[in-house]
Amino acid sequence: MNNKEPLLDGLGRVHTNLRVSVTDRCNIRCFYCMPNVDVKFKRRDQLLTFEEIQRFVRIVAERGVNKLRITGGEPLVRSELPSLIRQLSDTPGIDDIALTTNGMLLAEQASALREAGLNRVNISLDTLDEETFQRISRRPGVDQTIAGIDAALEVGFDLVRLNAIAIRNLTEGELVPLARFARERGLELRFIEFMPLDAEQHWQSDQVLSGNEIRETIQREVGELTAAPRPDPSQPAVDYQYVDGGGTIGFINPVSEPFCGTCNRLRITADGKVRNCLFSTDDYDVLALMRDGADDREILDLVQRCLAAKKPGHGIDSDDFERPERAMYQIGG
C-alpha cells in the first residue's frame, strides 16, 4: 500500500478495491439488470473518457487502491477497451485488473485484453439452456457466451470465473448443470442471490434462492463440499472446495447473509458518479468536478466525503430499506 493515508470510511474500513463502469450499454436485456424497452443510454460526451478514468484511478491508487474491476453495462461494447486496460495496468500501485462481462463479445477480444494487461475475467452465465437464457436475457446468445468462456481459457487469464444469478422458480434446474460444466472446464463458479437492482422493479424477496439452499443441492447432486480458506476477508463470496478435488464453488449471499462489515469497495459509474455502495441512494459527481478544472486534491476530497457517508450496511433485510433509483446497468456490477 502507498505510504499516504489510506481511504477510510467512518467505520474504519480500508478501501483498496475500485469498480469502474465504462458504459451503461449492453447487448442483452437481462431482467434483473435492465429494462427491455425504452432504455435511455448516456451520450458519449456524458461518459468519462479513458483519460478521465485513468486520472481518477491514479488519484485513488496513491491512497492505496490496488485492485480494479471493469464493469458495465457490458464493458466489451465500449470501443477500444484494451487501450484503457493498458493505461490502467501502467498506473503505479495497480496490481490487479479484472473484468465482468456477459462473454458474448469475448471470443474476439480476449487475446487483446490479455495482452493489454487484464488479469482476471468473470463471465455471467445463468444457464446452459438457450430457452432459459432467452427468458432471462430476452436475447439469444448462450453459444456465444460459451465461446467467450473457451477463448478466455485459451488465452490464459490468471482466473476465469463464472457468475450465475440464482432466482427461485426459474433457475433451480440450472444449478447442477452449471456446477458440472464448471468442474469439467476447471472453472471457479459463484452463485449470486437475486438482488433488488432490476430496472423494472419487479424484485420480490420470495424470488431469492439462497446460497445455503444452492449449496445443499450441489452437495446432494454433484459432490461433497468443504469450507475453503478465505485469504481475503473482504471478498464477497463464501467459498467451498469439492472434497474430491474437483474445484471451487462460491456463494455470494447479499440478501440472506450480508457481508457489509468487511466491504472494501468503492465505485465509479460510467457517467462519473462516485458511489460508496451498490445500494447507495446518493452519489458524488466527479465528472463535473474534473471538467470544471478541479485539481487532484479536490477530487480526493470528494472521494473522502463519499466514504465518510458510507453506511454500516446496505439494509436490504431492514424494514426501512430504500432501493436506489439507478438499476444495476447504470451503476456497474
pLDDT band at 1 (very low <50, low <70, confident <90, very high): very low
Cα angle 121-22-97, degrees, rounded to a multiple of 5:
35
Domain that holds residue 68: 17-331
Report the C-alpha gap between 39 and 155 in whole angstroms.
34
Report the C-alpha gap between 28 and 36 in whole angstroms.
9
pLDDT band at 319 (very low <50, low <70, confident <90, very high): low
* Residue 248 lies inside a defined structural domain of this protein: yes
In this structure, are residues 139 and 29 in contact, taking their beta carbons and an 8 Å threshold? yes
* Residue 10 lies inside a defined structural domain of this protein: no
Cell of 52: 478521465
In this structure, are residues 58 and 91 in contact, taking their beta carbons and an 8 Å threshold? yes
Q: Which of 121-125, 127-131, 141-145, 326-330 has the lowest mean pLDDT?
A: 326-330
Q: List pLDDT tens digits, range 147-205.
A: 999 999 999 999 999 999 999 999 999 999 999 999 999 999 999 988 776 667 777 88
* Residue 274 lies inside a defined structural domain of this protein: yes
Mean pLDDT throughout 221-249? 91
Q: Is 128 left (phi over 0), alpha (psi -120 to 50) or beta?
A: alpha
pLDDT given at position 119: 98
* Residue 5 lies inside a defined structural domain of this protein: no
Q: Which of 132-146, 274-288, 310-324 has the lowest mean pLDDT?
A: 310-324
Mean pLDDT throughout 304-315? 90
Query: Chain-wide mean pLDDT for the chain?
Result: 93
Burial of 41 (0-12, 13-18, 19+ CB in 10 A): middle
19 pLDDT higher than 70 = yes
Q: Is 313 helix (H, G, I), strand (E, B) or coil?
A: coil
Identify the H or E element spanning 112: helix 106-116
* Residue 191 lies inside a defined structural domain of this protein: yes
pLDDT given at position 2: 52
Q: List pLDDT tens digits, range 67-117.
A: 999 999 999 999 999 999 999 999 999 999 999 999 999 999 999 999 999
% of the chain with per-residue pLDDT over 70: 97
Total domains in the fold of the chain: 1
* Residue 143 lies inside a defined structural domain of this protein: yes
* Residue 120 lies inside a defined structural domain of this protein: yes
In this structure, are residues 114 and 89 in contact, taking their beta carbons and an 8 Å threshold? no
pLDDT band at 291 (very low <50, low <70, confident <90, very high): very high
DSSP 133-164: HHHHHSS--HHHHHHHHHHHHHHT-SEEEEEE
Q: List pLDDT tens digits, range 245-266.
A: 999 999 998 787 777 888 999 9
CATH at residue 232: 3.20.20.70
* Residue 47 lies inside a defined structural domain of this protein: yes
pLDDT given at position 317: 66
pTM to 2 decimals?
0.94
